[in-house]
Amino acid sequence: MDRKELEEKIIELVSVAYKTDNVTLETSFKNDLKGASVQMVALVSEIENELDATIMLADASACSTVADLVDLVEDEL
């Protein structure tokens, strides 16, 4: 999976977990999505299921934007 495909896949998973459209790489978890930890758990679970990458929830929670999350997952693949 190249970077572009990974970005698209993660944007799709974020959209599903947070039940929202218009997610981009610049979307901020804190300011734009304002999600609870429950949604981040759902997101991490789906990343593990769909991408075969085990990422730590604490690391995912520390991501500021969707692009940061893509970087994190890319490191694990």
Partner 1 sequence: MSVLDKIFEKAKQNPQKVAFPEAMNEKMMQAAYEAGKDGYIIPILVGNGAEIKAAAEERGYDASVFTIVDINEEEYKNKVIAAFVAREDTRLKEKALGRRMQDPLYYAMAMQKVGEVDVTFAGIDYTTGDVLLAGQMIIGLKEGISTISSIGLCDIPGYEGSEGSLLAVGDSGVCTNPNPEQLADIAISACETVQGLLDWEPRCAMVCYSTLGSGQGELIDKVKEALRIAQEKRPDLNIDGEFQLDAAISPAVAAKKVKRESKVAGKANILIWPDLNVGNIAVKLIQQFGHANAYGPMLQGFSSIVCDCSRGAPVSEIKGNIVISAVRAAGLKN
Binding residues vs partner 1 (CB under 8 A): 36-38, 41-42, 44-46, 48-49, 52, 54, 57-58
Q: Which amino acid is at 28?
A: S
48 or 74: whose CB is closer to partner 1?
Answer: 48
59 or 74: whose CB is closer to partner 1?
Answer: 59
Cβ 69 vs Cβ 60: under 8 Å: yes
Q: What is residue 50's three-state secondary structure? A: helix
5 or 52: whose CB is closer to partner 1?
Answer: 52
Token reading at 24: 């981009």
